[in-house]
């Protein structure tokens, strides 16, 4: 039998549990990780797992392989979020972090992420180097978990408490708790549930229990996956902020007091407003991925800040954050980061920052969005995830780049860009369509921005008709 070809995508290796994602294949990836780390002179790794099926088992398999190479694994007593692993790497002085998670993927998936000693995603060149060292064969003579524990090569640390201490240093939690802001939190059965119960004990907590099947839904914090949270807010006038995190709690979605979804494009703009106008941060850069609204460019220009666009994947932003001061960085899919924290997307941290913004300003989220629109104009964004066969997916991607659209329905294409996927501007920067393949699933992502939700739907429908999907 030929070995599974293991490739890291936009954010780690992900595969279907019991098909490609097996203990044997995780051990192969761990072997590549160990070989690379030994080349770097490293000897200590933080390993964490989220609430998905088999997390503890896959963590122990990883620790066993690392232990074979004399590498010490620092593990939590239970599930933890991805940002807790990243922060843990920094606080424990480790050389690398490994997270057993498939993030927002469907419940049948699990995955394996790499985190650098700086507290964010490993840079692309390091990930590629690890990938190239993954052997075809399953490593042999691997000690049992009990053996590596007995040798002192596994140590337990409370990374959730380390994270909570860091949050309490970074935010005025008393202000947030006593502000009168009613908060509803949807953990989506993910790894943020434990920490958020401790940070916001008076909030309404939804889906904050262990359910490795996520009730049959991918734990991605986008509007259509959060109908119960929206309904809860609409039915309770005391709630003025809804926060949702994905499976490993590094992504975020928000709702205002009317139960209206506030997407990452808007959150990034709000974070920039807060950092610049309330926290007085006047220098630094704004770094976003290719699928984010150009309104960030507009607001950065108003503030006199440098602005850069990267390929899709937070690892590209993290690479810049490791070298330069980035005030706000993020991607359309809910992974956002700010200065003053680790160079990592963190759904809990971002949710608390918006709550603090509301508490300090005395304004509702709806009012803050209105202030934002007064600066850059109103807009709406949405995305269709279209399931297509992989061959057809790549055919469409190739066509979009090599024979670009000249029109999308009634809209004339005035400019095209092909940084990572293809983006087509429809008469200016305020209206556009983008097409990009998923790196981990047989899915074509179709994005659009327009003046309002109706126009966005019109653009998406016209594009799908044009592509025959």
Residue 14, exposed/middle/buried by CB under 10 A (0-12, 13-18, 19+)?
A: buried
pLDDT at 356 over 80: yes
How does pLDDT run across 30-50, given as a tens digit for each residue? 999 999 999 999 999 999 999
pLDDT, the chain, mean = 96
pLDDT, position 403: 85
Pairing of strands 239-245, 72-75: unpaired
426 alpha carbon, distance to own chain's centre: 28
The segment(s) of the chain belonging to CATH 3.40.120.10 are: 13-162, 171-376
Burial class (CB in 10 A: 0-12, 13-18, 19+), 279: middle
The pLDDT > 90 percentage for the chain reads 94
Q: Output the pLDDT for position 438.
A: 83
Question: Rounded to the nearest 10 degrees, how much is the dihedral formed by the CA atoms of 132, 134, 137, 140?
Answer: 140
Between strands 336-338 and 326-330, the pairing is antiparallel
Is 70 exceeded by the pLDDT of residue 292? yes
* Spatial separation of the C-alpha atoms in residues 46 and 57, rounded to whole Å: 16
Name the CATH superfamily for 171-376: Alpha-D-Glucose-1,6-Bisphosphate, subunit A, domain 3 (3.40.120.10)
Residue 13: beta bridge partners?
112
Which residues touch 316 (CB under 8 Å, ≥6 apart)?
A: 124, 289, 310
What is the spatial distance between Cα 69 and Cα 136, in angstroms, rounded to a whole number?
Answer: 18
- pLDDT 10s digits, 322-349: 899 999 999 998 899 999 999 999 999 9
pLDDT at 273: 98
Phi/psi of residue 247, each to 5°?
-60, -35
Distance CA(397)–CA(402), nearest Å, equals: 9
**pLDDT score, position 428:** 83
For residue range 168-222, what is the model confidence (pLDDT) as tens digits? 999 999 999 999 999 999 999 999 999 999 999 999 999 999 999 999 999 999 9
As given in the structure block, the two tokens for residue 334 are 């809910």
Task: Return the pLDDT at 10.
Answer: 78
How crowded is the C-beta side of 7, counted as CA atoms within 13 Å?
6
Pick the CATH number of 13-162 from 3.40.30.10, 3.40.50.300, 3.30.230.30, 3.40.120.10: 3.40.120.10
pLDDT for the residue numbered 1: 62
Biggest CA–CA distance in the chain, Å, is 69
Q: How far apart are CA 2 and CA 14, in angstroms?
A: 19
Q: What is the pLDDT of residues 390-418, one digit of tens each?
A: 899 999 999 999 988 999 999 999 999 99
CATH of 380-467 given 3.30.70.2740, 3.20.19.10, 1.20.1050.140, 3.30.310.50: 3.30.310.50
Measured CA to CA, the distance from residue 92 to residue 108 in angstroms comes to: 32
Query: What's the pLDDT at 397?
Result: 93
Element (DSSP H or E) covering residue 170 = helix 159-170
Rounded distance between C-alpha atoms, residue 364 and residue 259, angstroms: 12
pLDDT at 2 over 90: no
Above 90 in pLDDT, residue 429? Answer: no
What residue has token string 């003053």?
340
C-beta of residue 369 within 8 angstroms of C-beta of residue 386: no
Question: Is 153:64 a contact under the CB 8 Å cutoff?
Answer: no
> What per-residue confidence (pLDDT) applies to 440?
67
Is the pLDDT at 318 greater than 70? The verdict is: yes
Nearest of 290, 262, 437 to residue 350 by alpha carbon: 262
pLDDT surpasses 70 at 167: yes
467's tokens: 């592509």
Taking the C-alpha atoms of residue 65 and residue 41, their distance in angstroms, rounded to an integer, is 17
For residues 322 and 175, give the distance between their C-alpha atoms in angstroms, rounded to a whole number: 31
**Distance (Å, whole) CA 445 – CA 291:** 10
Whether the predicted pLDDT of 267 surpasses 80: yes
Q: Where in the chain is the domain with CATH 3.30.310.50?
A: 380-467
């Amino acid at each position: 039998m030929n070995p599974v070809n293991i490739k890291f995508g936009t954010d780690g290796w992900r595969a279907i549990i019991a098909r490609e994602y097996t203990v044997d294949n995780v051990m192969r990836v761990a072997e590549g990780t160990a070989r690379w780390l030994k080349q770097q002179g490293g000897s200590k790794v933080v390993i964490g797992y989220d609430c998905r099926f088999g997390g503890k088992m896959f963590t122990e398999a990883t620790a066993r392989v690392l232990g074979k190479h004399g590498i010490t694994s620092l593990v939590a007593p239970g599930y933890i979020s991805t940002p807790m692993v990243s922060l843990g790497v920094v606080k424990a002085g480790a050389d690398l972090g490994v997270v057993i998670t498939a993030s927002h993927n469907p419940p049948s998936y699990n995955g394996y992420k790499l985190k650098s000693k700086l507290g964010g995603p490993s840079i692309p060149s390091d990930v590629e180097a690890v990938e190239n060292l993954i052997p075809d064969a399953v490593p042999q003579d691997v000690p049992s978990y009990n053996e590596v524990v007995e040798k002192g090569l596994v140590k337990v640390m409370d990374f959730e408490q380390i994270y909570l201490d860091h949050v309490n240093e970074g935010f005025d939690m008393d202000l947030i708790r006593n502000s009168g802001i009613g908060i509803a939190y949807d953990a989506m059965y993910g790894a943020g549930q434990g920490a958020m119960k401790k940070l916001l004990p008076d909030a309404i907590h939804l889906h904050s229990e262990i359910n490795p099947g996520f009730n049959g839904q991918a734990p991605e914090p986008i509007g259509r996956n959060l109908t119960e949270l929206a309904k809860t807010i609409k039915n309770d006038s005391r709630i003025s902020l809804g926060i949702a995190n994905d499976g490993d709690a590094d992504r975020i979605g928000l709702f205002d007091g009317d139960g209206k979804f506030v997407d990452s494009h808007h959150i990034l703009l709000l974070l920039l407003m807060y950092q610049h106008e309330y926290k007085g941060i006047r220098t630094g850069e704004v770094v976003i991925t290719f699928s984010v609204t150009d309104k960030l460019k507009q607001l950065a220009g108003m503030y006199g800040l440098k602005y850069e666009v990267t390929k899709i994947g937070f690892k590209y932003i993290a690479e810049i954050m490791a070298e330069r001061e980035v005030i706000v960085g993020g991607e359309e899919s809910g992974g956002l980061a700010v200065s003053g924290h680790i160079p990592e997307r963190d759904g809990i941290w971002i949710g608390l920052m918006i709550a603090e913004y509301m508490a300090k300003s005395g304004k509702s989220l709806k009012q803050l969005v209105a202030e934002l629109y007064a600066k850059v104009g109103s807009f709406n964004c949405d995305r269709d995830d279209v399931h297509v066969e992989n061959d057809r997916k790549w055919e469409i991607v190739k066509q979009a780049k090599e024979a670009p659209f000249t029109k999308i329905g009634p809209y004339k294409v005035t400019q095209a860009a092909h940084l990572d996927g293809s983006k087509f501007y429809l008469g200016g920067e305020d209206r556009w369509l983008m097409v990009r393949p998923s790196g981990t699933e047989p899915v074509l992502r179709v994005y659009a921005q327009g003046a309002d939700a109706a126009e966005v739907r019109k653009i998406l429908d016209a594009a799908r008709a044009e592509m025959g999907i």
